[in-house]
Amino acid sequence: MFTRSIAKLTVLAIISAAGFSAPAQGSWKLVWSDTFDGTFLNTNHWSFETGNNDGWGNNELEYYTDNSQNACVSNGILHIVARTNGVGKFKYTSARIKSAGLFSKQYGRFEFRAKFPPGKGFWPAIWLMPENSVYGGWPSCGEIDIVENKGDYPAVVQGTIHYAGADGQGLQSTGIYTFPVGGQCEYVSHL
């Protein structure tokens, strides 16, 4: 096994994430939630993206699978695991999940909780994409990277909004947060 990454991922919805359970606040109404109960990923909420798609734009070296060795649920936690059991020309395997086609919401409060693995080569991320790309392909359609962490720098996370300028060229606005010394890269978001 290469290494193990544990993530409590719940995104693209107003949710009550594993490890804490809070009712919708004030006039908020809970419309979608995944607390990763049971032993399997809820395929009514999530689907797998498999393959590599020429590195998915980030020169990724792993092949994404729907194999339970790369993604499993236990004790209310979604575990996403990178392994050295490669596929074809790819040395590593991991998992990539999405809610696209299963759930979307234009406005609301989105909450999730995640713990990222430290280590060279890791780049865990939680991000939002539009349901319909009415402005065209990427970057014109936009993308919100809620949180990303490069495992080489476990105390640093960033969020980015990707968009296109009038000329169609990609632009971005990025915010960076560094955890205090000795702090853990455990991220809780209330967007």
Residues that are catalytic: 143, 148
Q: Which residues contact 15 (CB under 8 A, 6 or more apart)?
A: 30, 32, 33, 34, 35, 110, 111, 112
Neighbours of 144 (CB within 10 A): 16
E-strand ranges in the chain read 3-7, 47-48, 62-64, 71-74, 77-82, 92-94, 97-98, 111-115, 125-128, 143-148, 156-164, 170-178, 186-190
